[in-house]
Amino acid sequence: MKYTQDIAAATQEIFSSMVMLDVTPGESFKRGDSKLCNSISGIIGLAGTSKGMLAIHLPNEAALAITTAFLGMDVEEIDEDVCDAIGELANMLGGSMKAILDPGGSDIQLSIPSAVHGEEYAVDCLADAETVAVPFSFNGQTFMVELQISKNS
């Protein structure tokens, strides 16, 4: 699938350098409209010549482990620190993908990152978008990074 290698490389680089975790990509897939359960998602919007979103979806347990590693302090519940950390990871991933999608830097703008979490929720973007989700694993935990993108005519 298009962008799979870019997502894998950007995610591995950010996790290695900023979170100090080695993450292993799996086989990319199309997530579809499946609901996310007991999870948190960091989301960044894309606007300009391409529109869509980049999201990182993490089960709560993985989000706690990643936030603990990222902040260097024990985090035991999904709170504002976790939402901020996951939003910042989405922001870094969005910046990396923007550099790939828009090498000149002026054709795509990124939104301010946001984070949503809950027992069950859906994250949908564009009906006509190309979508790819790449699963990752680390220390027995999993999460995924999803890109939904379409070109403006």
Buried b (16+ CB within 10 A) or exposed e, 113-126: bbbbbeeeeebebe
What 8-state DSSP symbol labels residue 45?
Answer: E
How confident is the model over 37-70, as pLDDT tens digits? 999 999 999 999 889 999 999 999 999 999 999 9
Of the candidates 54, 79, 78, 67, which has an alpha carbon nearest to the alpha carbon of residue 18?
67
Q: With 80 as the cut, is the pLDDT of residue 114 above it?
A: yes
pLDDT band at 1 (very low <50, low <70, confident <90, very high): low
- By residue range, what is the domain housing residue 139? 4-27+36-151
Q: Which of 112, 109, 124, 130 is nearest to 57 (CA)?
A: 124
CATH classification at residue 56: 3.40.1550.10
Report the domain count for the chain.
1
Judged against a pLDDT cut of 80, whether residue 125 lies above it is answered with: no
Give the Cα separation of 92 and 88 in Å (integer): 6
Alpha helices in the chain (DSSP H): 4-14, 60-71, 80-101
